[in-house]
Amino acid sequence: MQGYFFDISAFMIVLCLIYAFFLEKMHKIVENGVVLSSMICVLMASTLGVLNFTKTFSQPQYRMLFGITIDMLTAFGIALMVLFVYRISVYNIGWLKYTVFVVLPCVADIVFCVAASLTGSLMLLRVGYVWDLLLLLTGINILVIYKRNSSLERTLMLLIMFVIAAVMTMVEMMHPEVELQRFALSLLIAEEFFCLKNPDEQYEPETGLLGMESFRESMKRRFFYLEKHKEASIYVVALAVHGAETFMKLLGDTNEIKLRENVIDELVRIAGGTPIYRLSKGVYAFVMQEEGRDEAIRIQNSLNERFKSTFGRDAYEMEIHATTCNMELPEMADTFQGMVDLIYMAAKEGRMKAKAVIDVKKLDREHDMYVREIDEKVRNAVSQGNLEVYYQPIFSIKEKKFVSAEALIRLHDGDGFIPPDVFIPIAESNGSIIEIDEFVMQQVCRMISDRKIETLGLRYIEINLSVPDMIQEDLPDKLLRYVDMYHIHPSQINIEITETSADTFTGMVEENVRKLSRLGFNFTLDDFGTGYSSLSRIIMMPFDIIKMDKTLVQPPYSLDREKERNNAMTLLEGSADLIHRVGSETVAEGVETEEQLNKLKELDTEFIQGFYFARPMPESEFINVVKAKNKR
């Protein structure tokens, strides 16, 4: 009766798994189909095992047929589980190895089990179990050899369950009446099921395409394959759509969705079944199978041709610019990170030079190495103490003194300072910008408290927050914690948001701005004149101050042609007038000459920031300069 209860348990486990399988809609990818087939085999085998114990069919020929069918289904179930492990661990094992290590053992298992049922030979039955063991050991071997291709947690859990299944198979081989094997298989299938990802999680709901994590897992297996097969090549076509996400927002939500769907539909049509991965906003990768050079060329040419014409129709028809590149692996990149770096280098090169096609072989690898060095320094900047906060005073024309300052981060590496326009974009891309900005927050709050800036005539200090900071749900709590820690008032902190990131002002960003404003923090729109949707943001968001970027302030005095200077002056005057009309105060950035200062006075600009009065400087020097200026 032990076998009866084990079969009942296996039946219940697998039935629940099949229900969960369809509840999660896990039917879109091959690995899921393999596991579902394995479930069905073990479920049918357990069902027949239960019926066999109830002696529903007493005739010997039917009982023998039951036994043969159960053994066949069990063998298929084990083979499918080994096949699943191959699929998630190995890019391309080859039909020969599939045949030798999966198909032949499965066939041999069935043959010996049928022979044992027909002859009643216990020895033949045990030989059948030996083939089961060989299949399970194959699964264990795959997990060990290809452990680099899966997460440690997934590998360990599957390894444990395969070992348990092998041990229970050995027990049943010595004591056939126990029938533990199908129960062990149901547990193994359960673990395989939980190792699967729901395809709805793999496919991005916004685009319906596979995401970056799926790309990483797929390419990990492919690079491992390339290591073992030196003569093999894999081809990747990358597509970078320039500014599409920003332009789409100008069309309104409904037309944006229609246009995005049109673009994705065209990409899928061109791919013709080739997997497409969305790596980030506007960046896609098409991955060809082995020997896919011709297909890669076809896809690249088709993409280039398609992006010469418009997307969408009627009110939302528009032209979208893009760049493509074609990479042969491992010739052009022998690691996943190296490949991704090349894709983004090509995207940047295409955007900066307005090129539709980038030859990856001609990219500046020395620049790439420099970027990698900076990336490493940026990641370790806080822990190694290589960051320093500088302050640039802001002058009030009306009060004729410094009334505030902007906190600016500086990164040094022992040999000198790394320019902010170099390391900040890298920090934003690798995620370390959040840690760096927290460092700035804490240092500024400490300085305000220690130096008692109100006694110096300073009302507040401006800090720059990046978009990654602004989308954090706990940002208000974090800022309040620092304010409380140093016993300062929120109004002594002015948060700068760069206008060039205004296209990301949705959802959590706007909510955080309003929360922080209610708490007493003030806001500045930085770099006015360089962004995309400034007018709507000025109206919608609670900006106390708007900073005119130096690209507005300096051109009227630096351009060569008189017409250009006149146009630039018109733009400067119009911008200053607009800012005043919406009720905000103005800071003019990049003021370097007396001529610029006098013009800004005519335009009733309230505050001046620039080298004319002071450069960014370390804290102690900044305090001395403010004291000297404000005592006059």
586/555 same-domain check: yes
pLDDT single digits (tens) 92-119: 777 888 888 888 988 998 898 888 888 8
Establish if 377 belongs to a structural domain.
no
pLDDT for 198: 63
Average pLDDT over residues 125-131: 88
The pLDDT assigned to 595 comes to 94
Q: What percent of the chain has pLDDT over 70?
A: 86
Cα–Cα distance for residue pair 113/74, rounded to 1 Å: 11
| Neighbouring residues of 592: CB distance < 8 A, sequence distance ≥ 6 | 554, 610, 611, 612
Do the strands 585-589 and 607-609 form a parallel or antiparallel pair, or are they unpaired? parallel
What is the Cβ-side half-sphere exposure of residue 630, based on CA atoms within 13 angstroms?
A: 20
What range does the domain containing 247 cover?
A: 203-363
Q: Which residue has better confidence, 152 or 358? A: 358
Q: What pLDDT, on the 0 to 100 scale, is given for residue 249?
A: 44
**Buried/exposed 363-377: b ≥16 CB within 10 Å, e otherwise:** beeeeeeebeebbeb
Tell me the range of 99-103, 245-249, 308-312 where mean pLDDT is highest: 99-103
Rounded Cα–Cα distance for residues 399 and 391 (Å): 20
Q: Residue 392's pLDDT band (boundaries 50, 70, 90)? A: very high
Q: Encode pLDDT of 600-618 as tens digits.
A: 999 999 999 999 999 999 9
Report if residue 373 sits inside a domain.
Answer: no
CA–CA gap between residue 218 and residue 416 (Å, rounded) = 41
Q: Which residue has the tokens 């539909």?
A: 265
Report angle CA 517, 518, 523 to the nearest 5 degrees. Answer: 10
* Mean pLDDT of all residues in 38-50: 81
Kindly report which listed range (237-251, 252-266, 429-443, 449-463) carries the lowest average pLDDT score: 237-251
Residue 64: its pLDDT value, please? 79
Q: Give the model's pLDDT for residue 535.
A: 58
- Judge if 186 and 220 occupy the same domain: no
* Domain C-terminal end among 200, 228, 247: 200
- What is the CB neighbour count within 10 angstroms for residue 198? 14
Distances (CA, A) of 560 to 133, 290, 413, 551, 566: 83, 56, 38, 15, 11
Distance between CA atoms of 603 and 573, rounded to whole angstroms? 7
Q: In the numeric block, which tokens belong to residue 384?
A: 């190694």
pLDDT at 532: 47
Mean pLDDT of 180-195: 82
State the average pLDDT for the chain.
83
Task: Give me the number of domains the chain comprises.
Answer: 3
Here the CATH number for the domain that contains residue 194 is: 1.20.1070
Does one domain contain both 129 and 219? no
42-51, 132-141, 371-380, 499-508: the lowest-pLDDT one: 499-508
Q: Is residue 426 part of a domain?
A: yes
Domain boundary among 299, 332, 363: 363
Contacts of 228 (CB under 8 A, 6+ apart): none
pLDDT top residue among 406 and 369: 406
So what's the pLDDT on residue 248? 47
- Distance CA(349)–CA(426), nearest Å, equals 16
Return the closest-CA partner of residue 405 out of 467, 488, 493: 493
Measured between alpha carbons, how far is residue 90 from residues 204, 224, 248, 274, 339 in Å?
A: 24, 8, 39, 19, 20
- Distance, CA of 423 to CA of 413 (rounded, Å): 12
Task: Give yes or no: residues 273 and 307 share one domain.
Answer: yes
User: Does residue 456 or residue 201 have the better pLDDT?
Assistant: 456
Which residues are CB-contacts of 115 (< 8 A; sequence separation ≥ 6)?
121, 124
Please report, for the domain that includes residue 621, its CATH number: 3.20.20.450
CB neighbour class for 497 (10 Å; exposed up to 12, middle 13-18, buried from 19): buried
Q: How far is CA 281 from CA 211, 223, 344, 549, in A?
A: 11, 25, 12, 27
What is the phi-psi region of residue 123: left when phi exceeds 0, alpha when psi lies from -120 to 50, beta otherwise?
alpha
- pLDDT band at 254; cut points 50, 70, 90: low
CA distance 603 to 397: 11
Give the ranges where 457-543 is alpha helix by DSSP (H).
467-470, 475-485, 508-519, 534-540
Residue 378 lies in a domain: no
**pLDDT mean over 419-440:** 85
Are 355 and 319 members of one domain?
yes
pLDDT for residue 250 is more than 50: no
pTM: 0.51
Q: Is residue 63 located within the same domain as residue 29? A: yes
Domain co-membership, 476 together with 501: yes
Shared domain for 243 and 139, answered yes or no, is: no
Query: Is the same domain home to 598 and 622?
Result: yes
Whether 424 and 466 map to the same domain: the answer is yes
Mean local confidence (pLDDT), 308-334: 80
In a domain, 423, yes or no: yes
Cα torsion angle, 592, 595, 596, 601, sign: positive
Do 367 and 380 contact (CB within 8 A), yes or no?
no
- Give the rounded percent of residues in the chain with a pLDDT score beyond 90: 26
Task: Choose the final residue of a domain: 181, 200, 219.
Answer: 200
What integer is the mean pLDDT of 467-486?
Answer: 87
pLDDT mean over 150-175: 85
pLDDT digits (tens, 9 = 90+) for 345-365: 888 778 767 788 988 887 766
Specify burial of residue 58 (Cβ count, 10 A radius: 0-12, 13-18, 19+). Answer: exposed
**91, pLDDT greater than 60:** yes
Domain CATH code at residue 343: 3.30.70.270
Instruction: Count CA within 13 A, CB hemisphere, residue 83.
Output: 24
Residue 371 falls within a domain, yes or no?
no
Residue 493 in tokens: 């902190």
User: What percentage of the chain's residues is helix, strand, coil (to nearest 5)?
Assistant: 60, 15, 25
pLDDT in tens, 572-583: 999 899 888 888
- 569 shares a domain with 499: yes
Rounded to whole angstroms, how far apart are CA atoms 51 and 74? 16
